[in-house]
A and B are shown apart, each in its own frame.
Chain A
Amino acid sequence: MLVWFLPLFLVFLMVGLPVFFGLLAAPGILLWLNGQERDLALLYRNVYNGMDSFPLMAIPFFMLAGEMMNRGGITMRLVEFSQACVGHLKGGLAQVNILSSMLFAGLSGSAVADTSALGSMLIPAMEKEGYTRKFAAAITAASSVIGPIIPPSGIMIIYAYVMGESVAALFLAGIVPGVLVGVGLMMMTSYLAKGADFPVSRPRATWSEKGQASLKAFFPLLTPVIILGGILGGVFTPTEASAVAVAYALVVSLFILRSMTMKDLPNVLLKAALTSSVVLLLVGAAMAFKTVVSLSHAPEALAAYILSLSDNPLLLLFLINLLLFIVGMFLDAGPAIIILGPILAPIFTDLGIHPVHFAIIMSVNLTVGLATPPMGLVLFVASSVSGEKVEAIAKAILPFLAIEIAVIFLITYVPSISLFMPRLFGFIN
């Protein structure tokens, strides 16, 4: 009977119950009906135990560092740096938008922060240069999904915690796929620029201009170097690195770039606290849910069903990508990873897929879902930033989504794209 918690959970989710309550209500009701009241107490305790974690503390810290870096001047400096690099290309501002997203990804790790920070600056600028508003909003939304793929990444921390993987290995594994998505989007923009006659944003920057732009962006761009360098060099744990990133962001924003004042600080702290509290509760509920997943033997039943479809791992990976893509259309990446990770990952690990490889397939696929209609969160953010209708953006984003889907399959069938970096640094065998 307990195995019915999964369909019940899906029903709760589809009718609009918040994921946090759904994760507790579905298994809770079935435990109660089964007369397993003692396990209800276990469910509650596992919510607490799930939240009481030192590695999980990296989530509020990275959110806080991102909030600080998101303030005013820093985004502008990244855009100026990108303009000096690719502004002279045909469709220059669209290329600037993508490159800025890749650089911003090294600071924040949130697609929503990327869309709102870069969109509010670049969408009006692109419109002024003759791009349609829907195209400007679409490229902003499409490129913002790079945020959670290139480290630091909130969803990778969640995945690592829920599945017991190494945060450092996942961070490293996300670098090449994130760059691939960015390069793919740039190639598509170049192709579209030829047909639509997009303007160049500015003449090719001189070496002196490039030097000046690099100097201005130096401090923000140093953030990912400190985070990754600290973790990979064995200097900090990921949680400590995230606290150091906060201290660094504070010093840079308050004293060096002066993009934030002491007056802004309480609001920045509160925003990070609000967002993190929701994520932490979700992770706690997911850990409780995971207990019931084990009790119910649902993974075994699901694994038997999946393996009955085919014993070819390549075909199964294709099917699972389809499933994840559909889930990503309706659910944010974080909750989807929390719910599906414990169910799907063991099945594919048993089939011989490396756990880090599967983590990247899942993370990238669900992250791309943030930009897919009907429920893609960044589409709504891009719509509110640009004033364009979601439907129009959803149509304009299709060529970029095609590229992102192609990258998902590339990552799926070429494991070394994900595994090369963690192997290089000795985090996996």
Chain B
Amino acid sequence: MKAILAANSALAAVLSIVLAIGRQISIGLMGLMVLVILIQVFFRYVMNSALPWPDEAARFMMLWLTGLVAPSAYRWGGFVAIEMLPQMLPKKLGALLAFFLLILAGLVLYTAIGLGWNHVNSGWLFNSSSLKIPLDLIGMGVVRIKLAWMYMSLFVGVCLLFAVNIELILRALLTFAGYEDELPVITQDEMLGAE
């Protein structure tokens, strides 16, 4: 159990840093999404000439925002669930049920990682319809962005969710074994670490 406790602490420390970085990036993406759509509104209605890229760029950012910040929400317990039965059960039985549910969630995420990897790889074959890096401005050719970069958002999100799920499994195991008091605390303040 001591080894599991140490593994959980190490994973918790790594996740705290990685997810905090994800949250900081998502704050920027959220602001940029608004800006990009407002630029489109300006060009469409004021200049009467819609730009080709803002809609897809905003979707690109929304997908990455979801992939980077949803694992934080999961870690905090923000995923919608009916928790009546686990709460009604005796403590040990409730912890056992929570453990099995986490294993099931882990299997879903493990399968999704494999499927996500294939999905990302298929994306290297296709270009985005409107997103490109305008290297022609510095005398080089235009580089069209591959769809794989968009597909990667969900894949990264699923990988992070899987890592969070492992941490939650370890926590459930340790809680079941009576080590609840020694677990690192995950607080909402940590979630809102951007403040």
A residues contacting B by CB (< 8 A) are: 12-21, 24-25, 28, 40-41, 43-45, 47-48, 51-54, 56-57, 60-61, 64, 235-236, 239-240, 243-244, 246-247, 266-267, 269-278, 280-282, 284, 330-332, 334-335, 374-375
Contact = CB atoms under 8 A, between A and B. Distances in A.
B27 interface: yes
Nearest to B94: A16
Nearest to B36: A243
Task: Give the interface centre of B34, B45, B70, B85 by most chain A CB atoms within 10 Å.
Answer: B34
B136 interface: no
A44 B70 CA distance: 17
Contacts of A61: 33-34, 37
Contact of B104 (A21, A51, A235, A276): A21
A269 B58 contact: no
B82 A24 contact: no
Interface stretch (B4-12, B111-119, B138-146, B172-180): B111-119
Contacts of B84: 16, 330, 374-375
Contacts of B30: 60, 64, 269-270, 272-273
A15 B62 contact: no
The B contact surface, by secondary structure, is: helix
Nearest to B100: A15
16 contacts: A13-B82, A17-B101, A18-B81, A20-B79, A21-B108, A239-B37, A240-B37, A243-B38, A244-B41, A270-B26, A270-B27, A277-B73, A278-B79, A280-B66, A331-B80, A375-B84
A340 to B, nearest CB: 15
A266 B27 contact: yes
B90 interface: no
Given A44-B112, A44-B119, A274-B73, A64 B66 contact: no
Contact of B79 (A19, A60, A64): A19
Interface string B74-101: 1010111111111000000000011001
A206 B34 CA distance: 42
B105 A17 contact: yes
Q: Which 7 A-B pairs have the closest CB atoms?
A: A243-B37, A44-B115, A18-B79, A277-B70, A18-B81, A266-B194, A21-B105
Contacts of B65: 60, 273, 276-277
B130 to A, nearest CB: 12
A280 B104 CA distance: 21
B70 A25 contact: no
Contacts of B41: 236, 240, 243-244
A196 B22 CA distance: 53
Nearest to A15: B85
Nearest to A16: B86
Given A14-B85, A24-B112, 15 more contacts: A16-B82, A17-B101, A17-B104, A20-B80, A45-B119, A48-B151, A51-B66, A54-B59, A57-B37, A243-B33, A243-B38, A246-B34, A273-B26, A273-B30, A278-B73
Contact of A19 (B81, B104, B150): B81
B171 to A, nearest CB: 16
Contact of B58 (A48, A54, A271): A54
Contacts of A28: 108, 111
A243 B97 contact: no
Contacts of A56: 62
A250 to B, nearest CB: 8
Interface string B116-143: 1011000000000000000000000000
Contact of A17 (B23, B78, B81, B151): B81
A57 B30 CA distance: 11
A69 to B, nearest CB: 15
Contacts of B195: 266-267
B166 to A, nearest CB: 15
Contacts of B83: 16
B62 A331 contact: no
B98 A51 contact: no
Contact of B105 (A18, A43, A267, A375): A18
Contact of A274 (B59, B69, B115): B69
B86 to A, nearest CB: 4
B97 A52 contact: no
B79 A269 contact: no
Contacts of A235: 45
A16 B97 contact: yes
A123 B115 CA distance: 50
A9 to B, nearest CB: 12
Interface string B5-25: 000000000000000000100
Nearest to B67: A277
B169 interface: no
A240 B40 contact: yes
A143 to B, nearest CB: 23
Contacts of B62: 51, 56-57, 60, 280
A54 B55 contact: yes
